[in-house]
Amino acid sequence: MALDFPPFEPGTVWLVGAGPGDPGLVSLLAVHALEHADHVVHDALVDSRIVAMAHPGAVIESMGKRGGHASPRQGAINARLIELARAGKRVLRLKGGDPFVFGRGAEEALALAEADIRFRVVPGVTAGIGGLAYAGIPATARDCNSSLAFVTGHGQDGDVPDGFDWDGLARGAQVLVFYMALRQLDRVVERLLAAGRPADEPAAVVSKAATPQQSVLETTLGRLVEDLAAHPVDPPALLVVGGVAGLRRQLDWWSPA
């Protein structure tokens, strides 16, 4: 049965999630957008095989943001999307993971709305779900947790975020998944331990999740900083703290090609 996809109209912007890495995780709507976009503006972390799915006539433009590297400012990205849409282009803003989960997609959508540019949001598989699954770590498991928190590892200034209650966070969710926490990991661990999380609690760091370069460090919260110093990993990386991290020894199903 043929699927009836919405038309990708000139002068509009689609904010599309590309998932955590594996091209097989992109949605059918994402493929439809890639096949019809005039101009693709993609993040640095989007797999090149996904970008290559764009139709041959599309213009490909990288406007990715990477911590510690020279990157376009968010305002410049917003302005570029508006400029292209006003020129009558079908604009695909291709973002790693999900646009609305620590992807600054909301900022881009708000800028488009304020500029009276029509847009569509196509959700993607966020790394905190898909990336953990590829590491053999379920986000929830019946015998481990009934609560889950997604947390950014740094604030707007690049430091550990202080805008929430660390004690409440430590007590409030049985499993914690930190995005972009690698640079501040020692301080994150310090605050969690000070807030009462046990030192022997299972923890894992998943580097380059769902890509051929994926690696996983299994440890405990108390040993995390020491073990990571001995076995460093590259960003982007996820930190997961909680009983589900201890299930990997039974559930490690995927071997990167």
Stated length of the chain: 257
Encoded tokens for 139: 């986000």
1 is catalytic: no
Catalytic residue chosen out of the listed positions 22, 38, 43, 47: 43
What gap in Å lies between CA 109 and CA 96, rounded to an integer?
16
Nearest to 93 by CA among 74, 66, 71: 74
Mapped onto helix, strand or coil, the DSSP state of residue 29 is helix
Of the candidates 65, 186, 227, 252, the residue annotated as catalytic is: 65
List, edge to edge, every strand of the sheet that includes 59-62.
59-62, 39-42, 91-95, 13-17, 119-122
Is 208 catalytic? The answer is: no
To the query of whether residue 65 is one of the catalytic residues in this protein, the response is: yes
Burial class (CB in 10 A: 0-12, 13-18, 19+), 234: exposed
Give how far Cα 77 sits from Cα of 19, 41, 63, 186, Å. 20, 9, 7, 32
One of 47, 63, 180, 208 is an active-site residue; which one? 180
Please identify every residue annotated as catalytic.
Answer: 43, 65, 180
